[in-house]
Amino acid sequence: MKGLSRGFPSLSVFFPAYNDAPSLPGLLAKTFAALEAHVVDYEVIVVNDGSYDDTAAVLEQLRGPYGARLRVVTHPRNRGYGGALRSGFEAATKEFVFYTDGDSQYDVGELPRLLDLVGPDTGLVNGYKLERNDPAHRIWIGKTYNFCARLLFRIRIRDIDCDYRLIRRALLERIHLTSTSGTICVELVRKLEMTGCEVVETGVHHYARLYGRSQFFRLQSLATTLYELVGLWVRVVILRRTAY
């Protein structure tokens, strides 16, 4: 039955974080407020992906007010965006898993909107940016990447690049993710769609980055993403593999 956000039964929320120390206190405060109001059983996980700023210290300070509800997964070395997401999925224990980025470009306060859309057969609720608040070159690259990825991988959702997702954990246990870069978003959505689950979309707001720099729009990251995309395309489109 849809409309469960006033008493959503079981939810893991996680954030991949890389040098996101300034944004984490506000992000977690808003997260716990939303979960207290809308979710019966929940946990919050932050994956510290080898940050070299004060992310570790900030998270240690936040353990006090949030206690056991806040779990931290630490990578001694940066594993890339895909590696951080995979750790978050592996750490999650609840029936549904929600994730978004630790830089606060999305408003976690809009999470109840996704919870309201969950039905008995819903496997994925995916956000799409109502308006992208990034520099012009990033908007152009993002649109091009989204168009090409949707075309090549035959993905139905409109915004692969929107990392604001609610996923049924049982489906995550049926697929195997291998990407270490931003390619994981394509891999994740494509493999979830291949399970035949119900996919629902809803618009969410996107805000300008207040701290730090994006790790995706760098030459090395783009090169890694392109390399992984080619291999992924062969495995999941040509060979139609979801498990490996």
Q: How far apart, in whole angstroms, are the C-alpha atoms of residue 38 and residue 15?
A: 19
Cβ distance 216 to 82 under 8 Å?
Answer: no
Phi (first) and psi of residue 21, to 5 degrees: -50, -45
Q: Of all helices (H) and strands (E), which one includes residue 123?
A: strand 122-129
Phi (first) and psi of residue 225, to 5 degrees: -60, -45
Provide the token pair at 154.
């035959």
Q: How far apart, in whole angstroms, are the C-alpha atoms of residue 226 and residue 181?
A: 9
Neighbours of 109 (CB within 10 A): 13
Residue-range domain boundaries for the chain: 8-238
Provide the token pair at 54.
């004060």
pLDDT number for residue 76: 96
Mean pLDDT by 10 residues, the chain (244 residues): 67 97 96 96 98 96 93 96 97 98 94 96 97 82 86 93 96 94 93 95 91 58 76 83 66
> Residue 8 forms beta bridges with which residues?
39
pLDDT number for residue 236: 81
CATH number of 8-238: 3.90.550.10
pLDDT number for residue 222: 67
Alpha carbon separation from 196 to 121, 174, 184, 199 (Å, rounded):
10, 12, 19, 9
Helix axes 184-194, 80-91, angle to 10 degrees: 50
Provide the token pair at 174.
């049926």
What is the pTM assigned to this prediction?
0.89
